[in-house]
Amino acid sequence: MAIARRTLRPAACPVPIPPMPRRPAPRVALSTQLSPAAVERRWRLLSASRESREALLDAPTLDALGQYRGSIETCIGALQVPVGLAGPLRIEGAHAHGDYYLPLATTEAALVASYSRGAQLIAEAGGCEALVLAEGIGRSPGFAFASLREAARFAEWALSQRLVFNGCVAATTSHGRLKEMRAIIEGNHVYLHLDFLTGDAAGQNMVTLATEAICAHILAESPVQPDYWFLEANYSGDKKASARSFVGVRGRRVSAEVTVPAELVRRRLRTTPERMADYFRMGALGGVLSGTLGAQGHYANGLAALYLATGQDVACVAESAVGVTRMEVTATGDLYAAVTLPSIIVGTVGGGTSLPGQRACLELMGLAGPGHAAALAEVCAGLCLAGELSLIGALCAGHFASAHRKLARDIRYQPKNREGGENA
């Protein structure tokens, strides 16, 4: 059967497109300098209005640029992102204990209100339990050999070098150590997955430098030399959702649970435990049908806001916002809710946690500095549990759209508490 072919023609363009200049625009020179002169040179590249420049680089920002040293290259200013306060979130965990007010940085209206409502529901129910179940963050260098036999010989040798690799790691950091390693052979390729413990740092840079030291030893001592190799061969799951991380751990694997009395569900969420469980079943199946990794509503919303406020690597939300939410009706008719997140990557030292605003947000929770990373991970799980309760409650009560309409579209809306003042 013949198929008619049509010649595709570009749509008519109402405005003539000017030719591209023969030379590209001047490049942005890589620099970590934060001096006023260096920043001024970058602004000269831009055709920006005075208003745009002042929005990014007002006088106080220019005076404070030095605080960003080590955090950014070719800096031209800073953004202000509003920070809202949610909570209190009551947690009884292995590391986090007590009531936590949560600073959330976002530009999405209704987000802080939703997480705050869920946190207050948890607190009124007596609090949630949260536990760090496992810990470890990996790098996966890859090595290519001439044959499968050579790859197998290399893998056997590498796995025998555990103690030597420990020494390589110790030469790069006093805070991290090699937890375990395994070799994955694919034809003549070997993925050497190295799992590390990184103390109170999120640890991505730490494990990169430690892995580089291990690879240097491999190249110097391996009886089977690779044809070529890469420091990271994309097996670790870094900054992406992966099945390997989902069934294992990347960062900290955390779970949180709460039982909410039926009367409290009706009074605060305007729905019932039975309807919440109905939604869980339908939503979980919807996730399966769409091919999502895990089954949850919106972990990314709360995690991105908390990560941004507390100086975490926000790109890690790609892997952190994976997990499972479960809701059931108990034998006494109450609501049982639980979340499990296998890849919470947070730290309370290093990276952006040392910036003044981000450190202030950690201090608001009492989680700044060494000794608090595991507690912060448990707070993340409690935050996600609060968000799931509030979101699913709103969907069950039919309030999801109206809440966004009131908070995101009607700037005149101002909720009131029972005493008639602003509802904090």
Tell me the pLDDT tens digit for each residue of 13-60. Answer: 667 888 888 888 889 999 999 999 999 999 999 999 999 999 999 999
Q: Which helix (H) or strand (E) holds 296?
A: none
Among 78, 79, 83, 80, residue whose Cα is nearest residue 105: 83
> First CA to last CA across the chain, in angstroms?
70
- pLDDT tens digits for 308-361? 999 999 999 999 999 999 999 999 999 999 999 999 999 999 999 999 999 999
| Higher-scoring residue by pLDDT: 230, 2 | 230
Is residue 303's pLDDT more than 90?
yes
Percent of the chain with pLDDT over 90: 85
Is residue 163's pLDDT more than 70?
yes
Is residue 422's pLDDT more than 50?
no
Q: Is the peptide bond before 88 cis (omega within 30 degrees of 0)?
A: yes
313 is catalytic: yes
| Higher-scoring residue by pLDDT: 4, 87 | 87
C-alpha–C-alpha distance, residues 382 and 166, integer Å: 35
Q: Which pLDDT does position 395 carry in this prediction?
A: 95
Is residue 178's pLDDT more than 70?
yes
Mean pLDDT to the nearest integer, 198-224: 96
Report residue 221's pLDDT band, with 50, 70 and 90 as the boundaries.
Answer: very high
Among 241, 242, 237, residue whose Cα is nearest residue 207: 237
Q: Which two tokens stand for residue 202?
A: 């999120």
Q: What is the DSSP string of 8-71?
A: --PPPPSSPPPPPPSSPPPPPPP----SHHHHHHHHTT----HHHHHHHS-HHHHHTGGGGTTT
Distance of CA 211 to the CA centre of its chain: 22
Percent of the chain with pLDDT over 70: 92
Is residue 245's pLDDT more than 60?
yes
Q: Which of 124, 232, 257, 313 is catalytic?
A: 313
Q: Which pLDDT does position 199 carry in this prediction?
A: 94
Residue ranges covered by each domain of the chain: 48-78, 83-135+251-409, 141-230
Does 83-135+251-409 carry CATH code 3.30.43.10? no
Contact call for residues 184 and 135 (beta carbons, < 8 A): no
Q: Which two tokens stand for residue 96?
A: 């986090």
Distances (CA, A) of 247 to 130, 188, 242: 19, 26, 9
User: Using alpha carbons only, what angle is made at residue 237 by residues 236 and 243, rounded to the nearest 5 degrees?
Assistant: 110
Q: Which pLDDT does position 349 carry in this prediction?
A: 96
Work out the mean pLDDT of the chain and round it to a whole number: 92
108 is catalytic: yes
C-alpha–C-alpha distance, residues 277 and 280, integer Å: 5
What CATH number belongs to 141-230?
A: 3.30.70.420
Contact call for residues 343 and 250 (beta carbons, < 8 A): yes
323 backbone φψ class: left, alpha, beta (φ>0; ψ -120 to 50)? left
Considering only the C-alpha atoms of the chain, give the largest distance between any 2 of them, rounded to a whole number of Å: 77
Q: Which pLDDT does position 188 carry in this prediction?
A: 98
Is residue 184's pLDDT more than 90?
yes
Q: Which pLDDT does position 399 carry in this prediction?
A: 82
E strands, 140-214, in order: 142-144, 177-186, 189-197
Is residue 374's pLDDT more than 80?
yes
CB count within 10 Å of CB 350 equals: 19
Burial 57-76 (b: 16+ CB within 10 A, else e): beeebeeebeebeeeeebbb
Looking up tokens 């700044």 gives 368
Among 118, 89, 81, 87, residue whose Cα is nearest residue 424: 87
- pLDDT tens digits for 351-366? 999 999 999 999 999 9
C-alpha–C-alpha distance, residues 270 and 340, integer Å: 26
Q: Which pLDDT does position 8 carry in this prediction?
A: 56
Is residue 84's pLDDT more than 80?
yes
Report residue 415's pLDDT band, with 50, 70 and 90 as the boundaries.
Answer: low
CB count within 10 Å of CB 32 equals: 13
Q: Which two tokens stand for residue 137?
A: 């963050």
- SS3 state of residue 161: coil
Q: Which pLDDT does position 20 carry in this prediction?
A: 82
C-alpha–C-alpha distance, residues 345 and 323, integer Å: 13
- pTM as predicted: 0.90
Q: Which pLDDT does position 423 carry in this prediction?
A: 43
Q: Which pLDDT does position 401 carry in this prediction?
A: 75
CB count within 10 Å of CB 210 equals: 26
Q: Which pLDDT does position 5 carry in this prediction?
A: 55
Q: Are strands 251-260 and 294-295 parallel, antiparallel or unpaired?
A: unpaired
Q: Which pLDDT does position 271 carry in this prediction?
A: 97
C-alpha–C-alpha distance, residues 156 and 217, integer Å: 15
Q: Which of 92, 97, 108, 232 is catalytic?
A: 108
